[in-house]
Structure 1
Amino acid sequence: MQLKAIDVGFGYQKNSWTFRNLQLAIGKGEIVGLVGPSGAGKTTFGRILAGYEKPLEGMVTLNDSPLPTTGYHPVQLVFQHPEKAVNPKWRMLKILHEGWDPDDELLERLGIEKEWLHRWPNELSGGELQRFCVARALGPKTQFLIADEMTTMLDSITQAQIWQVVLDIAQKRNIGILVISHEAPLIERLCSRIVDISNN
């Protein structure tokens, strides 16, 4: 069971490629790191893997089939900027339940306070919003998680706590993870394999 990128290429301008011929395979339960300089297309590649963008060439498959286009998506993306991933017209409770209904234990482990559930997104800090995005991405049907600079808005102690929760759940449920980060120590600590996008 794998998430695969096969000869994937993308560019925002005609005749100008951000990357081409990208190959990647992530197995269930595997943690892979994605590194490269700013502008190399790491975030765009993550969006393609999660179905938010379509590649200009190549394809992404899940278990050797095209990515699904309806229902709860088995490849979940946690954006670097959580304010762009939530509906500003919804309270946090509705946002959280958009995909599934997390239990109180998970919310507590992620440091989400119950009073936050009734707030609007603009009433929370970036770090608080990011906790909700992590919880929302860990639905029971999630098979792969794309973590794009997932904890950059949190202090180092909270980062470690959030990652421990994610890793515990991933291990129990055999979720594959792609870690996109500029933080070399984080990548080296978490990942069994590292892919450098700067060579494409």
Structure 2
Amino acid sequence: MLLKEVSGLYPELKDSPIVQSPIWNKNVSELHPVQLIAIRKKSLNENPSYDIDLDLNFLVKILQLAELDDILTSPLSRYIQPSTSSMTTHEFVQGLRNMAPEYRMAVIFGLEMRLSAIRVSNLTVGQICLLENKTKLAQEVISNILVSNKTMYAFWTVRGDEHDGLDDLGEIVYEAFGCSWMELSARYRNMIADHYNPLIILR
């Protein structure tokens, strides 16, 4: 599927540099995040007042939703907005303490595996075990997961008598860290290590 053929993109991006770029007529399965970074850099240089990040984040969200519906698969869905900001491990742990344990585990796992909030909240127990290239910290999270016979989701919370998936993960992250999931992902990549170990939040 060509990028321009993905449902829902053109109405919002018709005036965007993305539509004018070569990737617009390329197959989504052959595109990579570095190409979005190049578009971002070019746009910021040529038209600094234009909010290219708004376009890129919208594009990535649409692709992530399409992947969940098994409509397509694209490496572009793993794009993370570049950031010059960072945080210390202490600040990260403090943010995690602002959320319930089940959300903490989902956040750590998602950031370690470079997954979107949507992808993390929809992971089933079976799917999480099949993921490849799991980091040491991601493995630690998996070993702490509580499997429920009331839900298929790996990460879940209790709502009344139900065990529901974390469909509000993005909102919880914003409340805890004051930024979007994509911005938190960027800060996580630039995290400055201090004497705090994120693992302490799981124990």
Into which bin does the TM-score normalised by the smaller protein fall?
0.3 to 0.5
- Identify the structure with the greater helix proportion: 2
Structure with the greater alpha carbon radius of gyration: 2
Q: With structure 2 as the length reference, what TM-score do the two structures score?
A: 0.32
Normalised TM-score (structure 1): 0.32
Larger RCO (alpha carbons 8 Å, 6+ apart): 1
